[in-house]
Amino acid sequence: MAQFPDLLSVSAEYLPAVDLAQAPTRAQVSGYHVEANAPIQLTERTFLIPGVAYHVDAVSFEDAPAEFAQLRRFQAVDASLLFVRLLPKDWALSIRLAPGLAGDVVRFERGLFRMSALAMATRTFSKKVVFGGGGLISYSFGTLLPLPAIYLEVKIRTWLEFEMFLPAFLALRSIPVPDRLEVSARVDVSGNSYGVRDERIRGAWPCQDEVVDGSGRAAEPNACMDNLAYSTAAAGLDVSVRLFSSVWLNAYTGALFYRRFEPKNVDGDTLPGGADSLPRTYVLRAGLTWRIPGI
């Protein structure tokens, strides 16, 4: 079975303010995501699906000190290309490439370039079981990593399904009203590495030489923040209601039980002071999804 993306999805999420360990302030995050895909059928059994996605995390701070550099926006733009080939004996091959840009600004710069890729083969063993595997490279854990990919879908009952795609998510989906209402318990892992180009950081020490009252100190490139690795893990409940045709309304609430950020220099080394874990909190998300009809 090939895994086809949605035609269009838009969502907004809210994370309440939490204390920052490295500064006497609190930070609140609101996230917004939009993604569009355009399936093209090349032959009866071959599909090409280009897509584009934009994500932004907007950060607000409470009573931050004047010397604290408030990075208020982290953005990511990705352009993907998914190739799907349906093979004999119920096999399917999927290959996906997704170059993109990620940072506190989005512009064409080598240091902001990101790439993820996936190659996976799946087989439909019966009407109830789909299994497959492959490999991927991803920034889901805040840095570029090669990882194994495992997919499993099991229809336990006509109204109950289990789906997992490791290392991204696990989901147990109940369908109390077929083609109208879906309720899922989910565990999700996500993340990215964002380039930092804010002049308040890049234009000051330790990124640049500093001279004050005739004395100064030389820049320390190894201590200059070039990018910020960010990764999260959440468990929660997702409710989807079909509004009309193949358009669904989604609502999600969950516990963000892992959230970690790690400032790094241009060589990818963690800065002095190390990584920091943010307090556990909850997350609320709402959105609309336009699914491919019949998928």
Q: Mean pLDDT for the chain?
A: 92
* Any domain includes 65: yes
Q: Is there a domain that residue 2 lies in?
A: no
Q: 274's torsion region: left (phi>0), alpha (psi -120 to 50) or beta?
A: left
- pLDDT score of 213: 67
Looking at the structure of the chain, the number of domains it has is 1
Mind listing the pLDDT tens digit for each residue in 124-177? 999 999 999 999 998 877 678 899 999 999 999 999 999 999 999 999 999 999
pLDDT for the residue 276: 80
In a domain, 209, yes or no: yes
Domain with 213, as residue range(s), is: 8-290
Does 63 reside within a domain? yes
Q: Are 160 and 171 in contact (CB under 8 A)?
A: no
In a domain, 248, yes or no: yes
Structural domain includes residue 295: no
Please tell me the pTM assigned to this model. 0.91
Residue pLDDT, tens place only, 228-243:
999 999 999 999 999 9
Per-residue pLDDT tens digits for 43-95: 999 999 999 999 999 999 888 887 777 888 999 999 999 999 999 999 999 99
Q: Is the pLDDT of residue 31 over 60?
A: yes
Smallest CA-to-CA distance from 293 within 250, 252, 242, 251 is with: 242
Q: What is the pLDDT of residue 68?
A: 78
Is 246 within the bounds of a domain? Answer: yes
Which of 295 and 132 is assigned the larger pLDDT?
Answer: 132
Residues 178-202 have pLDDT tens digits of 999 999 999 999 989 999 999 989 8
In a domain, 92, yes or no: yes
Phi, then psi, of 119 in degrees rounded to 5 = -135, 125
